[in-house]
Structure 1
Amino acid sequence: MDKVYNQIQQIRQNPIIHLGKRSLHLLKAYLDGYIEYHNEISDKPDYFFLPKFQEFVQERYNISTTHNWVSLISFYSSSEENAFDNFYKLLDEFFSENAD
């Protein structure tokens, strides 16, 4: 399984330890750093599943935009905590539809 996916699942179990609070924006910042570090130390850079997740979120909200998945999920959520929870719901849907 994807390294980023595994890290996201660890964060899901206890977001307070990893992020300080349930925040989609903090999760995105964490993931950006995690991916940048991985790509810096690895001989083979990897962009993981997130570009496909971006497409999935755009399709789910029936919108074509240059806004990233964080902005889209946040826009359609009632609060930062709700956006965090909605991210995990969408992630579960994404992987159930794209299981290989």
Structure 2
Amino acid sequence: MYELLMSIKNDYKNIIGKKSIEALEYYIFGYYQGVKEIKDATFFERFLHRLQNKYHVYSYYNWKHIILWQSGLSDELAFNNFYDELDEFMNSDVPKLEITDGRNETIYKLLYFNRLRPILIVGSENKLYRLYHLIHGYESVSNNSDINGIHFSLQFQKWIENKYSVKTGQDWYRIINFYSEIEEEAIKNLYELLNEFLIETTGKNLEENARLE
């Protein structure tokens, strides 16, 4: 996990687009959904425990919330502070290497479950950019998103650009947001577009793909 986190730090523009602790969180969550084997299953549990002791926070807040609050709610500053906290953690922590099975879900199950229970996947604020970064984290370790050998996000990006005749290089979530009046409408539009896209490319809608073994 440490190696993954450092690769994001060193190439954040290409991986998550900008210095954002929120984008980092959902990228990591997607990673955990797609990985077949987790080599250090208690990494973030130990990291959170250290933050709780350091800042005397023992509520339901996760590591992102604690660092974000300590950073004055600045998303970029919190990203930088995360790595400062990570350095302290790595210098003080005694890793307990514990290998467990990952989720290894298909991209269809992940997206379908988010449609049914978004609060469990992207939290109380169901925003497209959270799902976007989650998908990219998932695809970094999983081949279960391939459609005819090509990652889902690459095909969906091209399909959305053609759908709206957009050639500006904007990510698909930004395009959908632009053509939606409010965030709730953007989420609804996403799933309508997903069904249309999947029927064209796989012959099945999202629910039908999600139910395939």
Same fold (TM over 0.5): yes
TM-score w.r.t. structure 1 length? 0.80
- Correspondent of 2:127 among 19, 23, 27: 23
CA distance in 1, matches of 2:150, 2:179: 25
CA distance in 2, matches of 1:73, 1:19: 18
Matched residue, 1:11:
114
Give the residue type in structure 1 aligned to 2:166. Answer: I
Do structure 1's residue 91 and structure 2's residue 194 form an aligned pair? Answer: yes
Q: Deviations over 1:4-37 (max 9, x none)?
A: 1221111111101111132111111221222224
Whichever of the two has the greater Rg, that structure is: 2
Do structure 1's residue 66 and structure 2's residue 181 form an aligned pair? Answer: no
CA distance in 1, matches of 2:109, 2:130: 17
Superposition CA RMSD, Å: 2.0
**Which aligned segments of 4 or more residues in structure 1 are displaced greater than 6 angstroms?**
none
Matched residue, 2:136:
32
- 1:34–1:99 Cα change, 3 Å: closer
Q: Deviations over 1:38-89 (max 9, x none)?
A: 37xxxxxx86222111111111112222111011011111112211111111
Give the residue type in structure 2 aligned to 1:30. Answer: L
Residue pair 1:22, 1:84 contacting (<8 A) in 2 also: yes
Q: Secondary structure at the match of 1:64?
A: coil
5+ unaligned residues in a row in structure 1: which ranges?
A: 40-45
CA distance in 2, matches of 1:85, 1:63: 20
Residue pair 1:74, 1:83 contacting (<8 A) in 2 also: yes
Matched residue, 1:48:
151
Residue pair 1:24, 1:81 contacting (<8 A) in 2 also: no
Give the residue type in structure 1 aligned to 2:200. Answer: E
Percentage of pairs with the same residue: 32
